[in-house]
Amino acid sequence: MTYDVPIAPGETGDLAETTGTSGRGWPMWEVFVRARRGISHVHIGSLHAPDARTALQNARDVYTRRGEGVSVWVVPSSEISAFEPEAAAEYVEANEKVYRLATTYDIPDEVGQM
């Protein structure tokens, strides 16, 4: 099945023609789910909701319909800070201190497992 439906007369799909909500819509929340006890919460997706309680309820309905989690966190997306893409690239490239890796040290076979 293709969702790339061919362009038909009447379809412009031009976003400039829409008004959107310009901030009047509900804020976005990031959803984190702990799949089972003993492991961390993992980001699973996002959703819109007016407040935290509704966000949690929607998260349960949208992301955990089949027992995917035993615990859910929701965090306002606007509260998440992150590196800008360029800074992130530098950050990753600066991490080239290979002597930090265990595998860069040769241990003779006679010593056995280390």
Smallest separation, CB 114 to other proteins (Å)? 33
Instruction: Give yes or no for residue 73 binding other proteins (CB under 8 A).
Output: no
Structure tokens at 60: 């349960």
Burial of 107 (0-12, 13-18, 19+ CB in 10 A): exposed
CA dihedral 47, 51, 57, 60 (to 10 degrees): 30
H or E element: which one contains 28?
strand 28-34
Contacts of 63 (CB under 8 A, 6+ apart): 31, 33, 44, 45, 69, 72
Closest CB to other proteins among residues 40, 113: 40
Compose the 1-20 pattern: x for residues touching other proteins by CB under 8 A, - for all others. xxxxxx-xxxxxxxx-xxxx
Closest CB to other proteins among residues 28, 70: 28
* Binding residues among 20-49 for other proteins as defined by CB under 8 A: 20-21, 25-26, 28, 45-48
Positions that interact with other proteins (CB under 8 A): 1-6, 8-15, 17-21, 25-26, 28, 45-48, 50-51, 54, 61-63, 65-66, 82, 84-85, 88-89
